[in-house]
Amino acid sequence: MGGTMTQLPDIDAIHPAALDLGRRFADAGHELSLVGGPVRDLFLGRPALDLDFTTDATPDQTLGVVAGWADAVWEIGRDFGTIGMRRGDVQLEVTTYRAEAYDADSRKPQVAFGTSLEDDLFRRDFTINAMALRLPGLELVDPHGGVKDLHARVLRTPGAPEDSFSDDPLRMMRAARFASQLDVEVAPEVREAMTDMAERIAIVSAERVRDELVKLICGRRPRQGVDLLVGTGLAAVVLPEVPALQLERDEHHRHKDVYQHSLTVLEQAAELESGPDGPVPAPDFALRFAALMHDVGKPATRRFGADGAVSFRHHEVVGAKLTAKRMRALRFDNDTIRTVSRLVELHMRFYGYGDAGWTDSAVRRYVRDAGECLERLHRLTRADVTSRNRRKVARLSAAYDDLEQRIAELSAREELDAVRPELDGQQIMAVLGVPPGPVVGQAYRFLLDLRLDEGELGPEEAERRLRAWAADAL
């Protein structure tokens, strides 16, 4: 497709620092263009949060141009041709025209600097990101029809997708991420190349894959992005537990489609997120990822009874372990791993409440075990109801309403989120006359169970019970 050059209509949407920087480069005899995502976002009417530029200047020349203009400069990306800087309250990155590619067995891109804007745009991932605004004149350079594709909501590559994905296999993950974030359809030839080359994603570092996955899950259409990963085979490499949810079904052993159910739970969990001042501000990765992974223990635990009924006993425990293992492989931080795997482990705890009801002790334990995950657990549990049986949905919703009300009432009386034994470690040692050690831990757990089962007893009664326990247990 031929190139187009036109005047961008909304100049006011461009940050003044970008225009100022463009004039400085022009005065120094260099080219500078706003490029990629910021240009795309201008056409989408979204604020350009990242200001990325490309230039014919080398990193050394860029440093010379911004000396005295930038309030701070960092050179962490210098080997890749990128110089970062801050001007006032805005951060900018300027990268020398370049081309990068992966060796067949390498995890790191091999970088070579280019000499023209058009060549630089050709090597970018997708046409909607292969647009630039020449500064300071604000001429749009769109040699591959990015504006047209953006309006058509289609994702294409500037050249052959096989070449693009060979240069950087992570672009296949980005395709799925943009399907989620921008609600775009992947062009048939792009999907075909993703499918043919899916195994090549294995050479990309786990950290880079993880970062794209987080952005995908936090996008506007996460179901669309996940489905693309699964449909092309990419998920089989980077997140194999999800395609494994596509359990075989036959006429004798009917049960719900676990994979489609999980995607629906993901969607419904996202809909239950709160506003920025609420308890679970959107988008919440931990809640959404737990929703996607909550049933990954089912394939390993599926059993058929003599009557043809299917069961998945303890799938939540198995699923929590599988989730933690996968997240460690993707180099997630420990706090996020603990939160997500805990939600997976607890997602079945509520079921049965509506039939049998819970004692105050059971409600306390539910809150105690959920800890800081309680608000997310509320939402995950509600999102896990995907039945078409309206009566069942209404019954479960009413039961959970009742549970939340009881939690609120008990919390008001007992400050449930801060439940502790009525004697601390020092008091336990004093009462029992023991030094620090395992006995103190055992006594602490006894008193905590007592507190959860019977509520507040008072220090004197707690001490009496502790002495009685010690007489039998020690």
Q: What is the pLDDT of residue 1?
A: 39
Pairing outcome for strands 72-74 and 5-7:
unpaired
Distance CA 246, CA 243 (A): 6
Residue 112 · residue 99 · CB < 8 Å = yes
Distance CA 154, CA 179 (A): 9
Q: Can you say whether the dihedral through the CA atoms of 14, 19, 20, 25 is positive or negative?
A: positive
Q: What is the pLDDT of residue 309?
A: 84
**Bigger pLDDT: 252 vs 220:** 220
Question: Can you name the residues that pair with 310 across neighbouring β-strands?
Answer: 304
Q: What is the pLDDT of residue 26?
A: 97
Buried b (16+ CB within 10 A) or exposed e, 327-340: beebebeeeebbbb
Q: What is the pLDDT of residue 106?
A: 60
Centroid of chain to Cα 42 = 25
Q: Which two tokens stand for residue 449?
A: 């169970």
Q: What is the pLDDT of residue 254?
A: 52
Mean pLDDT score, 160-165: 95
pTM summary value? 0.83
**Bigger pLDDT: 309 vs 418:** 309
Peptide bond into 438 cis (omega under 30): no
SS3 labels along 348-389: CCCCCHHHHCCCHHHHHHHHHHHHHHHHHHHHHHHHCCCCCC
Q: What is the pLDDT of residue 52?
A: 95
Average pLDDT, the chain: 89
Element (H, E) at 91: strand 90-96
Mean pLDDT score, 304-317: 87
Q: How many CB atoms lie within 10 A of CB 300?
A: 15
Residue 366 · residue 333 · CB < 8 Å = no
Residues 6+ apart with CB under 8 A from 222: 180, 216, 266, 267, 270, 288, 292
Model pLDDT for residues 203-218, shown as the tens digit of each residue: 999 999 999 999 999 9
pLDDT tops 50 at residue 2? no
pLDDT tops 80 at residue 418? no
**Bigger pLDDT: 357 vs 261:** 261
**Bigger pLDDT: 46 vs 94:** 94
Q: What is the pLDDT of residue 415?
A: 63
Mean pLDDT score, 84-96: 94
Q: What is the pLDDT of residue 240?
A: 97
Q: What is the pLDDT of residue 115?
A: 81
Residues 6+ apart with CB under 8 A from 170: 201, 204, 208, 209, 212
pLDDT tops 90 at residue 392? no
Longest dimension (CA), the chain: 88
Outline where 75-221 has alpha helix (H): 117-122, 146-152, 161-167, 170-181, 188-196, 206-217
Q: What is the pLDDT of residue 295?
A: 96
pLDDT tops 50 at residue 9? no
pLDDT tops 70 at residue 105? no
Give the pLDDT band (50/70/90) at residue 7.
very low
Q: Which amino acid is at 318?
A: V
